[in-house]
Amino acid sequence: MISDSEKQTRLIAAGLVKKYRRELKAKCLIFTLRGDLGSGKTVFAKGVAEALGIKKIIRSPSFIIQREFSFGIDKVKGNFVHFDLWRMESEEEVRKLKIEDSIKPGNVILIEWAEKTSRLLKKILSDKETVVFTIKISETKENFRKIRILVKE
Ligand SMILES: Nc1ncnc2c1ncn2[C@@H]1O[C@H](COP(=O)(O)OP(=O)(O)OP(=O)(O)O)[C@@H](O)[C@H]1O
Ligand SMILES: [Mg+2]
Q: What is the pLDDT of residues 119-149, one digit of tens each?
A: 888 888 888 899 999 999 999 999 999 999 9
Which amino acid does the sequence have at 54? I
The residue length of the chain stands at 153
CB of 143 within 6 A of ligand 1: the answer is yes
> What is the DSSP code (8-state) at residue 52?
T
> Which domains can be identified in the chain, with CATH numbers?
2-152 (3.40.50.300)
Whether this prediction's pTM lies above 0.85 is answered by yes
**Residue 146 belongs to what H/E stretch?**
strand 144-152
- Strand 130-141 to 144-152 pairing: antiparallel
Q: Is the CB of 117 under 6 A from ligand 1?
A: no
CB neighbour class for 110 (10 Å; exposed up to 12, middle 13-18, buried from 19): buried
Ligand 1: residue whose CA is nearest its atom 1: 5
With a 6 Å cutoff on the Cβ, whether 145 touches ligand 1 is: yes
Residue 57 CA to residue 55 CA, distance in Å, equals 6
3 lines ligand 1 (CB under 6 A): yes
Q: Output the CA 38–ligand 2 centroid distance in Å.
A: 7
Nearest residue CA, atom 23 of ligand 1? 38
| Structure confidence by residue, pLDDT tens digits, 76-113 | 999 999 999 999 999 999 999 999 999 999 999 999 99
